[in-house]
Structure 1
Amino acid sequence: MAAARTLVAPRLAAASTFASLHCLRPLLPSRLAPSPRAALHGSAPRPGPRVALVLSGCGVYDGTELHEASANVLTESARIARGKITDLAQLSAANHDAAIFPGGFGAAKNLSTFAVDGKDCKVNRDVERVLKEFHTAGKPIGLCCIAPVLAAKVLRGVEVTVGHEQEEGGKWPYAGTAEAIKALGAKHRAKDVTEAHVDQKNKVVTTPAFMCETALHHIHDGIGAMVTKVLELARK
């Protein structure tokens, strides 16, 4: 049965944010309901913070957006890459310094029902547990693209960004998501695609990524900024 998946990035290296991070492998997509199962992948330890990368499948329209995943690590997907997979239920904040959720429709279809239910969405129970665990432990959480809706739903009052709040002639085609985030009880902060917003109080870092229609290198810059901020918070 296809399911939402997660991967663990043991010892992520911070050097050039998207070029030097290693060890993650995205997995298979699922149906429109939040999947009851998810998984994580482990690899050899590396110097630096130990970061869990939570993925929702393979591919922008039914799972994790691969550019967003590979902007954090130099692999694409467990569907095409080797690696042992275990349930997300085994992921514990006690064993990691931070967690990162890339975007892609999988975050709205497999990790939650946001794609169908909007502000009335439900979140996969293990995803909700992981978010609350890392938050309670004071460990940073990074999310990009549509994934910030997960934090907006689970962590009441959190500050996140999905970019601008107006479409601006099609540059921000998903600008309406900002209103849904507000309806979820979270605070939206407008940011450009190359920027990351840091909610210092909750240690949540977000960036718009493909919520913006722009060149890929601008999206990589924003994701790199998010990863850098997450790693900085993880070292404090």
Structure 2
Amino acid sequence: MGKKRVAVILSGCGVYDGSEVHESSAVMVHLSRAGAEVQLYAPNVNQMHVVNHLTGQPTEEVRNVLVESGRIARGNVKDLAELRINDTDALIIPGGFGVAKNLSSWAVKGKECSVEASVESAIKKFHATKKPIGLCCISPVLAAKLIPRCELTVGYDTECDKWPYAKTAQAMIDLGCKHVNKHVNEIHVDKQNKLVTTSAFMCNAAFHEIFDGVGEMVKEVLKLA
């Protein structure tokens, strides 16, 4: 069968305005361990804003999503416009607020958001060709917006200290999706849509628990590819 070819879409670098670094690293480690052939992509657009990760406050800087994603990719990242569906077996999108700020406008518009054009095109093409899509943390909102009546998890739907972002589940339900409660080390598989989701840092959990949950997602995506 040969190596599975996986596209990974990044949204910048850093949890508050880009891709969550630990989730992105976990995706890469698990794909590497499984012997997958990986290509990183990012849209060539400016970030919604830049956040000082020490203070949590926005700055006056302007940064480019593709350029910033190069920090995680060690420079090996391509413009998402270059992605060719026939050359790829699966798609994975790590989380981080960049998903809700740069890959979409979910951070400011919620369920009324739009999805960045190249990201929308990629997700729709993978879905149309029945190739698996793996999403973790906040990135399942992209599928909620673009894939009607899909099944997803962002963890739990009741907000508490462990699940500080649980209201996201209700927003996805409002979009017509089915939300399935899952622990941080678990995944949900929508077999009809070949969609694999896990909560990652939607949960206030230990790093190794996040790593393990992402690993389960990667494993299932490769199984479906």
CA shift, 1:58, in A, is 0.2
**Conserved 8 A contact 1:92-1:133:** no
**Conserved 8 A contact 2:21-2:72:** no
Query: 174, 177, 182: which is aligned to 1:186?
Result: 177
CA-to-aligned-CA distance 1:168-202 (integer Å, 9 cap, x gap): x3110000000011112211111110001000000
Per mean C-alpha deviation after superposition, the further-off stretch among 76-85 and 140-149 is 76-85
Distance 2:90 2:181 in 1: 24
**Conserved 8 A contact 2:10-2:69:** no
Query: 66, 69, 91: which is aligned to 2:21?
Result: 66
Distance 1:208 1:194 in 2: 8
CA RMSD of aligned residues (A): 1.9
Tell me the secondary structure at the aligned position of residue 28 of structure 2: coil
Q: Structure 1 residues 55 and 118, CA, compared in 2 at 3 Å: closer, same or farther?
A: same
Match of 2:48 in 1: none
Higher helix share: 2
Amino acid at match of 2:27: N
> How many residue pairs were aligned?
188
**Conserved 8 A contact 2:4-2:222:** yes
Amino acid at match of 2:125: E
CA shift, 1:149, in A, is 0.0
1:87 pairs with 2:79: yes
Distance 1:216 1:176 in 2: 23
Distance 1:82 1:158 in 2: 34
Give the unaligned 5+ runs of structure 2. Answer: 33-67
Give the unaligned 5+ runs of structure 1. Answer: 1-46
Tell me the secondary structure at the aligned position of residue 27 of structure 2: coil
CA shift, 1:79, in A, is 2.3
CA shift, 1:81, in A, is 5.4
CA shift, 1:208, in A, is 0.2
Match of 1:207 in 2: 198
Q: Structure 1 residues 161 and 80, CA, compared in 2 at 3 Å: closer, same or farther?
A: closer
CA shift, 1:87, in A, is 2.1
Stretches of 4+ moved more than 3 A in 1? 74-77
TM-score, structure 1 normalization: 0.76
